[in-house]
Amino acid sequence: MVTGISSQLVESLTPGRIAATVVLFTISCFIVDFTWKPRYSDSLPRVGCGGGLLGTLQNWFYFVTRYNTWVAEGYEKYSKHGLAFVVPSAPSHPQEIVVPRSQTAWMLELPDRVLSTKEAHRDALHNDYQFFWVDDQFPIQTIHKHLARNLVGLIPGVQEEVHGAIDATFGKDTENWKTLNLWEAWLGIVPRVTNRIIVGAPLCRNQEFLDGLVAFADDVIRNSLILDMFPHIFKPLVAPFLVFSNWWHWRKSYQHAKPVIEQRLHDMARKASGVDPAYEDWQPPEDMITWLIRKANADGRGAELNAEMLSKNTLAIEFAAIHTTVMTGFNLLLDLLSSDPALGYLDTIRDETSRVLAEENGAWTKTGLARLHRTDSAIKESMRFSHFARALTHRKVVAPEGVTNTAEGWHAPYGAYLMLDLAGTHHDPALYPEPDQYDAWRFSRDKEAYEAKAADEKGDAEEAMRVKRLGMVTTSAEYLPFSHGRHGCPGRFFVAHELKMIMAYLLENYEIKPLAEKPKSMWVGSNLIPPVQATIEIRRRKGTV
């Protein structure tokens, strides 16, 4: 009897019925997911394909190809008039409320117990799966506490690493032009330079260690895009298979980092004990490993004081630094190389960096880097002009009672998402004349004109502060690549130094042929995918060492 029933069940499992069951189950999960998501006030205008279940399904279907168009439409219709609007999101996320620039202060000044940056980031990158359930706030707090205060002392080591990384990536052939993939070139520079302040030398030059971290960063981006398309019910089933590559690539890097971290733990423990005379004059290198150990000791976080956890705690910083800095440098060179050569952008930057470096006796300092006004402007303008996401400032409503907007009166319930439109702001002609043109000196003209004035002509402190805010690390409601407010990127000061040193050495020692036109990027959902196949022609300048 039992055997007969089993046979009938097996016979009934035809491929068509199995496929139909999977499809039905998937649709049911999306419907359940839809019912769990927060609902927004009818007073908020919408863009996209409409509301309700049918409209939501259409929005999910078109999200990958139409998201950028939807937000651009909403910016013109509503944001410019001081009104918020709702935009569709990926299937796994609730729709987002796009807050107009006029309400930026309201959104960013709300406390973390009401609007959370942390929770928005965790959801966007699916942190619990991709970063091995590590508390990502621990490394971020460590960067906040230690990076800025040690930045001056880090500059000489970073300069050394910039020179070595660029020489290794581009070579020293002064006779022949070399065709190189620009994306791969930046991946040859940024991870090595960045890891000088994360793990120190010589580990930062270990190519297998760096390759694992680059692959890990790629995994996070790819898996985030994939997981965005699944309902929450599916994620515990799908994510463990997707993120196996994350673990694999981290493990390959960790094999190289483990002895370095274990030795640092040992040395710092001996130093702290005060019982070993050999460590009386020893000081640990100032890098992320040392800072994490210090903070773990200070906070009583004994569980973090082992090589594996310390390595995992660097992953959030590795991802952010590699991913964003490579794209920024990549876009910067494309913008400069595709500009009219008659504008003399590259020559001007070369002249400025060479002059200031000579005045600094060949060694970069914080003061010297701050004097690179045109170089700073060229980088900032590229970050304004060539963004890599529609928005980088997101908040999740975590207050159980939700939050009510004081300007318009609408209410966002618990679990809702709010965002600021970076792309619309950066290309608004009311803020930036000719916004769709790359103007390398857009931000340095006023600064140079101000500094050329006599002391009695420079005006009051307010004018001096306005000019100071033209620098690339100063965030505002009109300039959002580093976000804005108290959660602005804590690593932006290092990134500014890093990019300036890279551009200085690159242009001083290499010739690069201009591009006839800038290669096109492609929107995929809320992200702008760079033209990673773009190539350049480059050779070493004659007479350089």
User: Is the dihedral angle over the CA atoms 237, 93, 126, 61 positive or is it negative?
Assistant: positive
Q: Of 121, 120, 114, 103, nearest to 414 (Cα)?
A: 114
3-class DSSP state of 183: helix
Cβ neighbours of residue 482 closer than 8 Å, sequence gap 6 or more: 473, 475, 488, 489, 492
Q: How far apart are CA 470 and CA 408, in angstroms?
A: 31
| Amino acid symbol at 495 | V
3-class DSSP state of 281: coil
As given in the structure block, the two tokens for residue 539 are 């050779």
Distance from first CA to last CA of the chain, Å, rounded? 87
User: Does 204 count as an annotated binding residue?
Assistant: no
Backbone angles phi, psi at 257, to 5 degrees: -80, -30
Beta strands 96-99 and 417-420 are parallel
3-class DSSP state of 534: coil
Asked if residue 386 lies in contact with residue 423, where contact means CB atoms within 8 angstroms, the answer is: no
Asked if residue 88 lies in contact with residue 60, where contact means CB atoms within 8 angstroms, the answer is: yes
Whether the link from the prior residue into 514 is cis, omega within 30° of 0, is: no
Tokens 């097996």 belong to residue: 10
**H or E element that contains 152:** helix 137-170
Asked if residue 40 lies in contact with residue 97, where contact means CB atoms within 8 angstroms, the answer is: yes
As given in the structure block, the two tokens for residue 293 are 């150990």
Rg of the chain in Å (alpha carbons): 26
Backbone angles phi, psi at 86, to 5 degrees: -105, 135
Cβ neighbours of residue 166 closer than 8 Å, sequence gap 6 or more: 189, 502, 505, 506, 509, 510
DSSP label at 373? H
Q: Of 156, 165, 164, 155, nearest to 187 (Cα)?
A: 165
**H or E element that contains 532:** none
Q: Binding site for heme: which residues?
A: 489
Q: Binding site: which residues?
A: 489
